[in-house]
Amino acid sequence: MDILQPAVYKEPAPILDKENPFESMMHRFDVAAHLLNLEPGVYEYLKTPVKQIIISIPIAMDNGEIKVFEGYRVIHNDILGPSKGGIRYAPDVSLDEMKALAAWMTWKCAIMNIPFGGAKGGVRCDPGKLAPLVIEKITRRYTANLLDIFGPDRDVPAPDMNTNEQVMAWIMDTYSMHLRRTETAVVTGKPQILGGSLGRREATGRGCMIVTLTAMEKLGLKPKDTTIVVQGFGNVGSTTAQLLAEKGCKIIGIGDVSAAYYNKKGIDLANASEWVKSSRTLAGFQGAERISQEELLELECDVLVPAAKEDQITHRNAAKIKAKIICEGANGPTTAKADPILQEKGILVIPDILANAGGVTVSYFEWVQDRVGYFWSLDRVNSRLERMMSEAFISVYESAERYKVSLRIGAYILAIDKVARTLKLRGIYG
């Protein structure tokens, strides 16, 4: 079988007016597959998840009632190694969303040269309205139902939206109880005391900082002359803002789900973090002028870091974005329909599958450390992360130049080509 034989394969389909993350992912996949002349059979293979699991999670609630939650785990691909991907708890979790996020994990690991495939999981629930004990019960039953799927050599979960170190500790404990021995490498993003890695919590923001500085260098922007706007002030957004500020950049806009703020002289991030610590959100912060969520994204600035959620830059607002660089801290913050508008404006977009890959990279470091049983210093974690992010940026940049495409399509080409070539070597068992 010749995987990269000449194309007999259709043009990418036009983008539909209504977009969802899966359609956005598939559109970019189609463009890259077309440029790679991917054989139709391989195209079919790579677009189809290996496993899509839907489970029911019955829970005895505090009042004695039984409530049934729906849980998901999608393994998109495991050609490069055990599948890896976060677990999200939210009321709008759906199979389509899981499929897109799982595929992004496959491409992300391929770009980073990490020996993992891609997966994603979640439970449809509203964790804000659930007692911690119920969240623990959901987590343990979810894990027990997926015992045959999870495993350090099979499928390795991590935190995502509304799940954290504590949830990972419960998954690790439940899995270990059934195994009759402690198995720390079954999840990453654990508390350090249970085998978590130093530097994991800041890893995604640190990765964003590294690729942003590299992109700034390409455009001849010096940190002291660079203004930054960050949407989302959680783990990724606040760390990226802080680390870029430490490099000398001026953070002029920040925002979270509650409010957005602008200060052309620069925002005092320590004050903003203190405020969020005491009031949970940014609303009411005094160190800057309040603006609308739309205005935040459209501010005059050098770098915009969307680090909140999907579908923030769309065909409706893309033409109004004034940044020179967009660093996608979030997964899927830009829709496929917005891509050509940003490209037309000459904005350099560092795509999510590269920009936020620092998290999965240090998750990989955590898995390696757990399996060897020897833990690295923070310096070692950070310097290896820096090397891998810089190498990935260069590979994506070269791929984009070679095919004369955006960094996003260059990244997809690099990833799909790597997985397809690995598939060719392994062959099809069937």
Closest to ligand NAD by CB, 235 vs 382, is 235
To ligand NAD, the closest distance from the beta carbon of 326 in angstroms equals 14
Q: Where are the alpha helices (DSSP H) in 71-199?
A: 95-112, 132-145, 165-179
For residue 242, count other CB atoms closer than 10 A to its CB.
Answer: 19
Spatial neighbors of 63 by CB under 8 A, at least 6 apart, are: none
To ligand NAD, the closest distance from the beta carbon of 330 in angstroms equals 3
What are the residue numbers of the active site?
120
Closest to ligand NAD by CB, 35 vs 101, is 101
To ligand NAD, the closest distance from the beta carbon of 389 in angstroms equals 13
33-38 contacts: CB < 8 A, separation 24 or more? 33/9, 33/416, 34/7, 34/9, 35/403, 35/405, 35/409, 35/413, 36/4, 36/413, 36/416, 36/417, 36/420, 37/4, 37/5, 37/6, 37/7, 37/9, 38/3, 38/4, 38/7, 38/9, 38/416, 38/420
* Angle value at C-alpha 414, between 10 and 391, nearest 5 degrees: 165
Residues engaged in binding ligand NAD (CB under 6 A)? 160-161, 204, 231-237, 255-257, 293, 307-309, 329-331, 356, 359
Closest to ligand NAD by CB, 253 vs 423, is 253
- Tokens 């205005």 found at: 295
Name the pairing type of β-strands 83-90 and 155-159: parallel
Rg (C-alpha) for the chain, rounded Å, is: 21
To ligand NAD, the closest distance from the beta carbon of 89 in angstroms equals 11
To ligand NAD, the closest distance from the beta carbon of 225 in angstroms equals 27
Closest to ligand NAD by CB, 257 vs 368, is 257
327 token code pair: 């660093």
Closest to ligand NAD by CB, 30 vs 202, is 202
99 contacts 49 by C-beta, under 8 angstroms: yes
